[in-house]
Amino acid sequence: MLDGQVTYQLKILTTAILSVVMLRKELSRLQWVSLFLLFFGVAAVNVQANAKPPPVSVVKEAIQGAAQLVTQPPKSTVDQRPIVGLLAVVTACCLSGFAGVYFEKILKSTPQSVFVRNIQLGVVGMVLGLGAVYITDGKKVMEHGFFFGYDFAVWSVIMIHAFGGIVVAVVIKYADNILKGFAAAAAIILSCVASMYIFDFELSLLFNIGATLVIIATYMYSRFVPKPASSSKPEPSPLVANSSYKKTTLQEPQSTLEKVV
């Protein structure tokens, strides 16, 4: 599970590669270095966020029931296939990057506004969501109604997600998917810092290293923007050419008169 979450951060690099291929975006060498630093930084933060020590009560229960666990027969282990899992994660990274870059291309190449595109995507998502609700919780919805259990907290989460979707669309419209990846990395760090005060989350050296890499990568990507290509040699202005032409035409009659004299 943890390896998959770390490997899924490859979507940062796949998004950058697809942006160069599909949108003809130019990235400098130091910007590519910043993307790799961002990948390692986000991976380190995810490792820290998921590697939480077990509570003390769980440890005590495990020690007390150690004798009973020894007497029980060992459980059958799940047959894992790491290669298949790695291919699935890489495929998900490529599809995620392609979806984001294609959405950016649609937003920047069509005259429709961001809100119109969000409504169009929202209608499609609503149809798919209703189908999922009917399959999973169709009986409960029929018994209690669709909005059963919708309190203030639920509506608040819905509004936050809706506002976040509009913000993401605006970022893609006026920036790009790579900057969205940097913003997502910063959001992971901010959520971990907030967890320190809400859930007594303890930071480690690995988290500090990952956060430092993300900050350095963000600065490098915004600082070392590729310079525009130099223009060709300036052509002579037409005024200069016309002036020289007038000089030659005026001097020719004067030379012919001197020959006659």
Confidence at residue 78, expressed as pLDDT on a 0 to 100 scale: 60
User: In whole angstroms, what is the distance from residue 178 CA to residue 182 CA?
Assistant: 7
Q: How far is CA 104 from CA 98, 107, 151, 171, in A?
A: 10, 5, 35, 9
Encode 149-163: b = buried (16+ Cβ within 10 Å), e = exposed: eeeeeeeeeeeeeee
Phi, psi angle pair for 148, to nearest 5°: -70, 130
Tens of pLDDT along 87-127? 888 888 889 889 888 888 888 888 877 788 878 888 888 89
The rounded Cα 35 to chain-centroid distance in angstroms is 11
Encode 62-94: b = buried (16+ Cβ within 10 Å), e = exposed: eeeeeeeeeeeeeeeeeeeeeeeeeeebeebbb
Contact (Cβ atoms closer than 8 angstroms) between residue 218 and residue 180: no
Confidence at residue 202, expressed as pLDDT on a 0 to 100 scale: 77
Tens of pLDDT along 146-173? 888 889 999 999 999 888 888 888 888 8
Low-confidence ranges of the chain (pLDDT < 50): 54-60, 62-63, 65-67, 69-70, 231-232, 237-250, 255-261
Confidence at residue 152, expressed as pLDDT on a 0 to 100 scale: 92
Residue 42 half-sphere exposure toward CB, CA atoms < 13 A = 24
Q: Under 8 Å CB-to-CB from 120, ≥6 apart: which residues?
A: none
pTM over 0.75: no
3-state secondary structure at position 123:
helix
Residue 178: other Cβ atoms inside 10 A: 24
